[in-house]
Structure 1
Amino acid sequence: MLELTPLTPAHIPLLQKYLRAYPRQSCDYAICNLMTWGKIYGNSFTIWKEHLVIVNPKYDYVMYPVGPGLSAKELRELVDIYREGHPLTQLVLIPEDWQIKIPDITQYFQLREDRDWADYVYLIENLVKLSGKKLAKKKNLISQFIRTYPEYQVIPITSDKKDVIIRFSEKWRRERNMEGIYLNAEFQAIKNTMEMWDEIPVEGIIICYKNRISAFSIFSEQTVDMVTEHFEKFDPEMKGSAQVINWETAKYLQDRYIWLNREQDMGLKGLRQAKSSYMPAFLVKFIFGKPLD
């Protein structure tokens, strides 16, 4: 069995050490997600053959190890060790360039791509400029919002805004009748994020009009040139608020990063349409590896 240790904020320096040396574009490797969603899933880790290995025990997932690289045979050895107590274990988040780095992995695993869990990545510059006919409607909605709410402000999220963010998130979910296992878990992840705000590397902004919150976004660094937006909520009664929070987030980040990862659509039709409408530059694939018998 692997000797696993539950992930806590005390392990953030260790995570940063590995992920800065061996960056991954998948949002599942973002430290904020590892901490906040990890609290829900019970994420644990170990160091195995000088690689950081993160395990999601709720779904019996072994995340592809972070480090200089293991052979396909070693990856199978790792998964088999965890399978001793968890026979349904799968290796997840296999790099897209596996055919170059580990071409023989198909001798040990059956690979499967899941489109529902692919990350949407955008050029931040494009989200700021919103050029072209396909994005013209979004630009017009932003202009309408500015005309209707000319005195709106953009303020940074701090830990003292915890209750405001949680209440707004609950209101958003209730009014849009958004329920389900994932969405309930997302609400808990937002609560976890706000409760851990001063312990984890995370930022965010609020769109505020006359002391009323219109929208917010929460994000954190993914790699040196990519930032990941973890949560984005808006007031549907304020026309254009959805477009404004996206635009203001991009403006807030444009001097520090090139790419914005807006995470997955989970197979939700409306969310897929919304994320696709902003014309992503590329998707980060989610590839499973089921051990072959």
Structure 2
Amino acid sequence: MLRQDDFRPVTLADRAFFEKHYTVYPQRHSDNTFTNMVCWNHFAGYTFAYVEKNLILASTIGSVTRFRSPIGPRNPALLRSLIRLASDVSDNEPIVLIDPDTAVWMREVCPGINLVPDRNHFEYVYRAADLAELPGGNYLTIRRQLNKFRKNCASTVEPISENNCDDIKRFLIEWCEWKGCESGDPVLANEKEAVFFAIDHMKDLALRGLAIRVSSKIGAISLYEPMTSDTALVHFEKGLPDCDGIYKAINSETAARLAKKFTYINRESDLGVPGLREAKLRYHPHHMVEVCSMKRDS
């Protein structure tokens, strides 16, 4: 019987364990990645249990704990045990971010289970070459905006490293002031700390990053890592409004480097934010990483 006592916090020291498990069971959704969990731990309180060769993740935001489906060999008894635990301790959405194959299996094990698509957490996956080259009519407007940036803004591109770490942090403080991180949005309010953690632990997490400098000042950054053998994951992409088109520029520069090694780029979800959804759709995703949630019957 699975119990809450089986779960312990995810820490930076657990990286080797997660890497080994994910080598056998690759993850397609960014929320399950080790980097995401340790960077957002201060906000989402990630924990995990390892039971019968299955990894089970949970996160607690505020007072609500939600679980992920087991990652490992299919085990119907363990699934039923997880459903009982999650139903006892969670809210009306006890298990989340369920991938389509797992959803099929869960319905086979538990006929009648209520699984509902979670569009706000679908992730956008693009062909790396498309983001790098912006080919054809679909990208005409984006190419124009990028060309305008390159014409009007004297810029240079550099890797994020110890040499420019202080400049990056000054940029992040300014970005947060511009975005109003303290305005009340819980995700935005905690994003600054998540990015700072990523910057401080780039080597520990095997992260890479790029920065665009405009007139000697950092104007945009991106942080990314390999996700699977054919897909890279962009965790953070930030820019200041000082020079129009700088978001197009950091996207293009990042993709140009990733396209040399990866076929696809996962740029995470839109969280249901209308403007962000429009921006992500404008780049014409190759496919979506679809997920659903278990809902309590009303």
What's the counterpart of residue 25 of structure 1? 28
Mapped partners of 2:262, 2:103: distance in 1: 29
Deviation (angstroms), 1:21: 0.9
What's the counterpart of residue 57 of structure 2? 54
What's the counterpart of residue 189 of structure 1? 194
What's the counterpart of residue 140 of structure 1? 144
Deviates more, 1:132-141 or 1:266-275: 132-141
Aligned pairs for 1:2-21 (under 5 A) are 2=4, 3-21=6-24
Amino acid at match of 1:122: Y
**What percentage of residue pairs aligned between the two structures are identical?**
26
Distance verdict in 2 for CA 1:192–1:140, change over 3 Å: same
Deviation (angstroms), 1:23: 0.8
What's the counterpart of residue 175 of structure 2? 172
- The answer to whether the Cα contact below 8 Å between 2:66 and 2:90 also exists between their aligned partners in 1 is no
Deviation (angstroms), 1:144: 1.9
Mapped partners of 1:289, 1:106: distance in 2: 11
- The answer to whether the Cα contact below 8 Å between 1:76 and 1:291 also exists between their aligned partners in 2 is no
Mapped partners of 1:87, 1:127: distance in 2: 39
- The answer to whether the Cα contact below 8 Å between 2:8 and 2:49 also exists between their aligned partners in 1 is yes
**CA RMSD, 1 decimal:** 2.1
Deviates more, 1:159-168 or 1:183-192: 159-168
Distance verdict in 2 for CA 1:100–1:81, change over 3 Å: closer
What's the counterpart of residue 277 of structure 2? 272
SS of the aligned residue for 2:255 comes to helix
Select 1:63's aligned residue among 63, 68, 71.
Answer: 68
- The answer to whether the Cα contact below 8 Å between 1:30 and 1:220 also exists between their aligned partners in 2 is no
- The answer to whether the Cα contact below 8 Å between 1:94 and 1:288 also exists between their aligned partners in 2 is yes
Deviation (angstroms), 1:106: 5.1
SS of the aligned residue for 2:23 comes to helix
SS of the aligned residue for 2:269 comes to coil
- The answer to whether the Cα contact below 8 Å between 1:166 and 1:190 also exists between their aligned partners in 2 is no
Mapped partners of 2:29, 2:196: distance in 1: 22
TM-score normalized with structure 1 length: 0.91
TM-score normalized with structure 2 length: 0.89
SS of the aligned residue for 2:98 comes to coil
What's the counterpart of residue 42 of structure 1? 45
Select 2:84's aligned residue among 68, 80, 86.
Answer: 80
Amino acid at match of 2:14: H
Deviation (angstroms), 1:291: 5.3
User: Unpaired runs of 5+ in structure 2?
Assistant: none
Amino acid at match of 1:123: R
Superposed CA deviations along residues 103-123 of structure 1, whole A, max 9, x for unmatched, are 425526311112111111100
Deviates more, 1:250-259 or 1:197-206: 197-206
Distance verdict in 2 for CA 1:165–1:64, change over 3 Å: farther
Mapped partners of 1:193, 1:18: distance in 2: 22
Distance verdict in 2 for CA 1:99–1:269, change over 3 Å: closer
Distance verdict in 2 for CA 1:80–1:220, change over 3 Å: same
- The answer to whether the Cα contact below 8 Å between 1:94 and 1:286 also exists between their aligned partners in 2 is yes
Select 1:245's aligned residue among 245, 250, 253.
Answer: 250
Distance verdict in 2 for CA 1:79–1:106, change over 3 Å: closer
Amino acid at match of 1:94: I
Mapped partners of 1:276, 1:165: distance in 2: 28
Superposed CA deviations along residues 231-277 of structure 1, whole A, max 9, x for unmatched, are 11112121221111000000011111111111111111111111110
